[in-house]
A and B are shown apart, each in its own frame.
Chain A
Amino acid sequence: MSVSRRAEARAERELRRETLIEASAELGLVALNGPADPEPSLVLEGGRVVELDGRPEAAFDVIDRFVAAHGIDPGAAAEAAALADGEIARRLVDVDVPREALVRLSAGLTPARLARIAAMLDPVELMFALKKLRARRRPANQAHVTNRKESPALLAADAAEAAARGFAEIETTVGVARYAPLNAIAILAGSQVGRPGVLTQCSVEERRNLQLGIQGLTAYSETLSVYGTEPCFVDGDDTPWSKAFLASAYASRGIKVRFTSGAGSEALMGHAQGCSMLYLEARCLCAVRAAGSQGVQNGGISTVALALALPGGTRAILAENLIAAWLDLEVASGNDAIASHSPIRKTAKLMGQFLPGTDFVTSGYSVMPRYDNMFGGGNYDSDDLDEWLTIQRDWQVDAGIEPLSEEEAVAVRERAARAVQAVFAELEFPEITDEEVALAVTARDSRDLPDRDRAADVAAGDRVLDEGIGGVDVALALDRAGFTDVAEAILGLQRLRVAADTLQTAAIVGPGWAVESAVNDPNDYRGPGSGYRLEGERWKLLRALPHEVDPATLALQDRSGEPKLVVRGEAGAGTQPDEVVIAIGPAFLDRLRETIGGLPHEAVLTAIADGVRAEGARPRIVRVLRSSDVAFIGHDGAALSGSGIAVGLQSKGTAVIHRADLQPLDNLELFGMAPLLTLESYRAIGRNAAAYALAQPVGPVPVELDNFARAKLIVKTTLLHAAETEEIDPGARPLELALELA
Chain B
Amino acid sequence: MPAFDPRTDYPLGARRPDLVRTPSGLSLGELDLAALRTGRIGSADLRATGETLRRQAEIAAAAGRPQLADSLGRAAELASVPDDVILAVYTALRPRRSTADELDAWAERLEHEHAAPGVAAFVREARVAYAERGLLSHAPTGARR
Contacts and interface: CB of A to CB of B under 8 A. Distances in A.
Contacts of A88: none
Give the residue among A69, A251, A515 with the most B Cβ atoms within 10 A: A251
A233 B133 CA distance: 12
Contact of B43 (A246, A471, A520): A471
Nearest to B60: A504
Contact of A248 (B22, B31, B71, B133): B71
Contacts of B135: 62, 234, 239
Interface in B8-66: 10-14, 17, 20, 22, 28, 31-33, 36-37, 42-43, 45-48, 52-53, 56, 59-60, 63-66
B129 A65 contact: yes
Given A487-B33, A491-B31, A500-B48, A515 B67 contact: no
A247 B48 contact: no
A557 B129 CA distance: 80
Contacts of A254: 47-48
Contacts of A487: 33
Contacts of A316: none
Contacts of B133: 61-62, 65, 230
Interface in A639-667: none
A497 B17 CA distance: 13
A669 interface: no
Contacts of A230: 133
Nearest to A480: B37
Nearest to B69: A292
A498 B70 contact: no
A472 B46 contact: yes
Interface in A224-283: 230, 233-234, 237-239, 241-242, 244-254
A322 interface: no
Interface stretch (A146-154, A169-177, A206-214, A438-446): A206-214
A449 to B, nearest CB: 32
A239 B126 contact: yes
A210 B75 CA distance: 14
A251 B71 contact: yes
B10 A292 contact: no
B90 interface: yes
Interface residues of A, number: 74
B83 to A, nearest CB: 5
Contact of A292 (B71, B89, B94): B71
Give the residue among B28, B45, B65 with the most A Cβ atoms within 10 A: B65
B11 A499 contact: yes
Give the residue among A215, A216, A495 with the most B Cβ atoms within 10 A: A495
Contacts of A328: 64-65
A73 B72 CA distance: 19
A290 interface: yes
Given A207-B87, A479-B33, A495-B31, A241 B126 contact: yes
Contacts of A249: 75, 78, 86, 90
A399 B126 CA distance: 41
A515 B14 contact: yes
Interface in A69-101: 69-71, 73, 100
Contact of B129 (A62, A291, A498): A62
B59 A238 contact: no
A85 B96 CA distance: 40
Contact of A499 (B12, B68, B72, B74): B12
A470 B78 CA distance: 20
Give the residue among A241, A244, A518 with the most B Cβ atoms within 10 A: A241
Contact of B33 (A237, A247, A484): A484
Contacts of A248: 71-72, 74-75, 78, 119
A591 interface: no
B81 interface: yes
Contacts of A185: none
A48 to B, nearest CB: 13
B46 A519 contact: no
Contact of A244 (B60, B94, B122): B122
Contacts of A290: 67
A477 to B, nearest CB: 11
Contacts of B66: 73
B78 A499 contact: no
Contact of B12 (A216, A247, A253, A501): A501
Interface string A514-525: 110111100000
Contacts of A73: 66
A476 interface: yes
B53 A241 contact: no
Given A498-B28, A503-B56, A519-B63, A475 B12 contact: no
B93 interface: yes
Contacts of A471: 43, 46
A602 interface: no
A247 B59 contact: no
Interface in A51-70: 60-62, 65-66, 69-70
Nearest to A502: B11
Contact of A504 (B42, B63, B78, B125): B63
B90 A246 contact: yes
A452 interface: no
B52 A499 contact: yes
A363 interface: no
Contacts of B68: 292-294, 504-505
A409 interface: no
Contact of A207 (B81, B90, B123, B126): B90
Contacts of A210: 86-87, 90
Interface string B121-139: 0110110011011010000
Nearest to B126: A241
B65 A245 contact: no
B11 A501 contact: yes
A252 B60 CA distance: 15
A683 interface: no
A515 B37 contact: no
Given A291-B67, A491-B36, A504 B56 contact: yes
A292 B67 contact: yes
B56 to A, nearest CB: 5
A29 B71 CA distance: 34
Contacts of A159: none
B14 to A, nearest CB: 7
Contacts of A293: 68, 71
11 contacts: A210-B90, A237-B94, A242-B90, A245-B123, A251-B75, A252-B78, A291-B71, A501-B13, A505-B63, A515-B14, A519-B60
Given A215-B43, A292-B72, A498-B48, 14 more contacts: A211-B87, A238-B94, A242-B93, A244-B122, A249-B86, A251-B74, A252-B86, A495-B28, A497-B46, A498-B45, A498-B52, A499-B20, A499-B52, A504-B60
Interface of B: 10-14, 17, 20, 22, 28, 31-33, 36-37, 42-43, 45-48, 52-53, 56, 59-60, 63-72, 74-79, 81, 83, 86-87, 89-91, 93-96, 119, 122-123, 125-126, 129-130, 132-133, 135
